[in-house]
Chain A
Amino acid sequence: MKKIFALLALVIPMLAFASGGDVHLDTAPERNTDLAGLQRGAKLFVNYCLNCHGASMVRYNRLKDIGLTEQQIKDNLLFTGDKVGDMMNVAMKTSDAKEWFGAKPPDLSLIARAKASEHGTGSDWVYTFLRSFYRDNSRPTGWNNALENAHNTAMPFALWELQGKDRGATVKTIKQLKDEKGNPAGFEETIEVFGKDGSLSKQVEKLKGDHHHEGKTVTLDKAEGGKLTAAEYDAAVGDLVGFMAWMADPGQNKRKQLGVWVLIFLALFWVIAWRLNAAYWKDIK
């Protein structure tokens, strides 16, 4: 009885991710016009991401567009001897990155647009990604990710301080078995339970019946031990992702403002063109 109670307490609230066709991405919060949120995101980006990832198409002084002055940028966001007119390049060499992580951390200038899919926007993907890390001691970094297409990611969890380093998960994998001839022979489910310290306990179960779908489901536990509460962490990731969305398309707001005027002009001009046409065509019988 006590054991069940303890298990339940650990496992509330839970986030469930389905795999394969029904990938669920959480919706990233809107930060488009929230300059304060974008600035917080810039701070998080420079402090937690820029050590490994570059944003080599964004100039530091472009951050004036989100309400910062050049002096503020120089004082708070420049670290490595870069000048304020420089691009946000990463100091890590590609060859070192490949040796240390197995792959070069991708440039993040356009990441919020590059990860778009039928399941959601690119921002949704990054927002979900940064909140889906769990402990897994079998991985070199000690972390794994619940998102289907980020499973076994080489990325260490840079935001562990904020989220908390204690987080487990339950991974259920359903696989179809085949006999010697290659014909379907039932289904088997592997349940891997990762504790909040990353240790693994595994069990394999043969499933009854033929109506199962192959795939992987990851259920995340609550994170513990972080500087921020769960709600604060979600808000911080929201700021960070909002900043990345801004980086991917910095001209977005100006473009939409201009668009409104263009459409108003064209609508009025269309009416004029229509009446001009009618004036000429009334001669035609």
Chain B
Amino acid sequence: MAMKETEATGIIGWVDQRFPLLSLWKEHLSEYYAPKNFNFWYFFGSLALLVLVIQLVTGIFLVMHYKPDASLNAADLPGAFFSVEGYIMREVPWGDLIRNMHSTGASAFFIVVYLHMFRGLMYGSYRKPRELVWIFGCMIFLCLMAEAFFGYLLPWGQMSYWGAQVIVNLFSAIPLIGPDLSVWIRGDFVVGDATLNRFFSFHVIAIPLVLLGLVAAHIMALHEVGSNNPDGVEIKDKKDASGKPLDGIPFHPYYTVHDLVGVVGFLFLFSVVVFFAPEMGGYFQEANNFIPADPLKTPSHIAPVWYFTPYYSILRATTSSFIPWLWTFFAIAAVRVYLSAHSNQAMKRAVRGFVAVLFLAMGVPGIVLKMIGLKTLASFSIGGVAIFLGIDAKFWGVVLMGVSVLIFFGLPWLDQSPVKSIRYRPDWHKTVYGVFVAAFLILGYLGVKAPGVWGSLPYINLDTAQTVSQLCTLLYLGFFLLMPWWSKMGTFKPVPDRVTFAAH
């Protein structure tokens, strides 16, 4: 049988005749043309890949010595806790370094991914034809959050145990199936050995496999359409005689060597933390987690790790007093959709139905009646169903927390701006992005703190931190849900047809 012709010789040639080695090399590295105007924000993709590798390799070594066992040893310490703090950290050669790299890597992963997503937000990297790149990325984000959540239970400290207990209990708020669902997830009626072992399986193999597949899909989808750039200009629109984009440069060697600078810089900052401050003031390694898990002793303040706190804040902000405001906000957004539906009668009926169902399901009439003192009317029931009370605010908090993560998937369709990049949008759009970032950071900060940390508002008897969280929740949701309208408003600047680049 005639073998494929290859320019390569020796071993490489032998492989290339049996495996698409050279064509993969060309397609994805030496002849993958990327825009030449990448800036600082474009480091974070390669850094995310680096951190993934760091986590996988340190994880492999940790699993060699870790034992997922909740039962107590002879000294009354849970096996899992001892295997980390008593064995890996003290007796395994370099074990303390590997453990610190893994915990720092987890936080670093989220810093890198949040900045990577923000780049996408700023430059419209999720826009056509890159919607699928973005969707795979959002799925990676979800998997990352699940991976971090499952991994955090493994050291079996107080925060590990009680954080898992709180979050899994959230599922019990789902009507009808909730409590059974929670038992199914936990493997028991409370978080215990069954939970620890299955979370170990999810964290070590199930999610990493899915993550690897998604990362491959993410990069393949990207390479299929080509990268975006800070100007939002499509470089494939202007090609030279041989079909290469005029503003494109081969990824290898130009971006391999460019990304190396980013990698070394990242490793420097990473090493500062790993060697000098692995606890990072209690944010990367929480103090409470140095106490072995005790199912009988609830910590006074249970909070998730810092990277979950914006979403935890949104969950905490959703109280019954907030529900009427929330419903009003959704109703206003729905009115906007209704008005732009024009003659689409089906759409208009759907919007009306949605608003009505939400009104009853959120229990808005019941809450308002209670607030004005008509408690008996509020709990009026027909056939055992309290028609005005709807579903508990705890459930809506979980829904809202889910919506605020899942809404990222919708960005390619929510963004109706005529230009991709923030560089050519009206200047006031930058303020809108700034408000979104500020709301996200404030939610994150308040999520770390105990409730009531800012005292009461003057004159009105409302908790300041909770009210600010509620306002920031509306700003966060408004940024996305109202985007189809605000992204079109204003005077846009002319987009150049070639990228802006200064030789350096």
Contact = CB atoms under 8 A, between A and B. Distances in A.
Contact of B253 (A57, A106, A278, A280): A280
Contacts of B272: 259, 263
B90 A270 contact: no
B254 A56 contact: no
Interface in B432-491: none
A28 interface: no
A234 B86 CA distance: 30
Contacts of A276: 257, 260
Interface residues of A, number: 45
Given A57-B77, A266-B264, A270-B265, A117 B86 contact: no
Contact of B36 (A90, A114, A284): A284
A268 to B, nearest CB: 10
Interface string B231-266: 000000000000000000100011001101101110
A255 B96 contact: yes
Interface string B251-294: 00110011011011101100110111001001000011011100
A114 to B, nearest CB: 4
Nearest to A259: B275
Interface residues of B, number: 40
Contacts, number: 108
Given A113-B287, A284-B36, A57 B85 contact: yes
B291 A263 contact: no
B279 A113 contact: yes
Given A258-B275, A266-B268, A273-B261, A284 B287 contact: no
B101 to A, nearest CB: 11
A168 interface: no
Contacts of A278: 504
A277 interface: yes
A66 to B, nearest CB: 14
Interface string A1-32: 00000000000000000000000000000000
B76 A94 contact: yes
Contact of A256 (B89, B100, B275): B275
A270 B268 contact: yes
B276 to A, nearest CB: 6
Contacts of A110: 85, 290-291
Interface in B17-74: 36, 74
A267 B287 contact: no
The 4 A-B residue pairs with the shortest CB-CB distance, nearest first, are A259-B275, A56-B75, A57-B86, A114-B290
Interface of B: 36, 74-77, 82, 85-86, 89-90, 96-97, 100, 249, 253-254, 257-258, 260-261, 263-265, 267-268, 271-272, 274-276, 279, 282, 287-288, 290-292, 501, 503-504
